[in-house]
Structures are given as structure tokens and as C-alpha cells.
Amino acid sequence: MARRGVLAAGARGAAGLCLAAALFEGTVRAALAGGLLHLPVLGDAVRPAVLLGQIAEGATPEKMWSATRGWANAPGTRTRPWTIGGPSRTETVHAIGARRRGEVSLPTPGGTRRVVAVGDSFTFGAEVNDEDVWLSVAERALPSTEIVNLGVNGYGQDQALLTLREVGLGLHPDVVVVGFVGDDLERNLFDFHFARKPRRETARWR
């Protein structure tokens, strides 16, 4: 009898915990759906606070603070080590934040088709040299085509859209390429990634 009582009490306790967890999850989901609660993404909260300060002060070599996008590519040429071993790589960023060695002139040179690309690190070409970025390879393969690579490490689709509006459209592109990977969808919900980032909320009709 005592054993049955212990088992019954344990079952009731487990059921209570499951019910409490379900109620908590339901409450959080409802709050998120209603725009009443913003939850930090796990892992982002433990990033070193100094990183945010470095970006704000422009001291991070590859990134600089952006009031509208959180961070942006810092202009310049730098040599960075591979994170998976091997030789170092060279990254060249134009004054407008585009990864390219050549100039970007306005208006577009006659007879040239201009392509503007926005996206995250896959678009930027993290871990490869300038000439090995897929957009650089495409530019060499396409005659009379200039590709301006505005990809930025860690960007979500929201920041890519802002980049297109703030920089890309001013270049009067003939074609716009949007680089996309699955992680970009989740990043749209981030309040913090490499630094604090803006978060837009859409108005709902009542």
C-alpha cells in the first residue's frame, strides 16, 4: 500500500509538472503572438558584452555599428585566419560596405549590367578569399556584368532588406539577388546577434 501511495503521488506530481509546462508554453506563445513579450534567443544573451561596445566604437575590424541595421561591414582590406585551419584569407570591403576589390561608379558604366546582392555570410563569402566568393566567380563568368556584393555576416532578411533600401537601390541595379539560408528566418526575430539589432513589428488590423 505504501508503495502504491508513493507511485500515485509521483504520478500526480509528474502530471502536475506536465500541466504547468503546457500552461507556461501556451501563455508564452500567446504573448509572443500578441506582441506582448520578446524573448532573447538562447545563446545570444551569453555573448561577451564587450563585443557590443567594440562595434559601437568601431573597434571591431570587420564590423562597424549601424544605427538602422545594428552592424555593417567595415571598409578596408584585412587578412583573417581560417576558422577550420589552413592558410589565411583576404577580405576586401569597399567604402559602401560591398565586398569587392574594384570601384563602384555612378552611374553604371555604359554597356554594363549591374547586379546588387544582399544576404548573410553565405552571400558575403565568409571563409573564402575575395576571388573565390561565388558572386565574384559569377561576375567573371558573366560578360558585361558587375556584381555588387552587399552581404553581411549574421544578417537576417530584415537587415538585408534595409541594406537594399539604404545602399543597394541607390546603385540603380538592373537585377537584385537575395541570398537566403534557413537561419535567416530565425534571425528576423533576434533582438541581439553580433550586436543589438532593430526589430520591426507589423501593425495588425482590428
- pLDDT tens digits along 145-198: 999 999 999 899 989 999 999 999 999 999 999 998 888 888 887 777 767 776
pLDDT score of 39 more than 90: no
Instruction: Say how far apart CA 162 and CA 177 lie, in whole Å.
Output: 14
| pLDDT > 70? residue 137 | yes
The residue-averaged pLDDT of 113-121 equals 96
**Does residue 95 carry a pLDDT above 80?**
yes
Report pLDDT for 101: 87
Residue ranges covered by each domain of the chain: 1-37, 49-187
CATH number belonging to domain 49-187: 3.40.50
Number of helical (H) and strand (E) elements in the chain, helices listed first: 6, 7
pTM recorded for the entire structure: 0.67
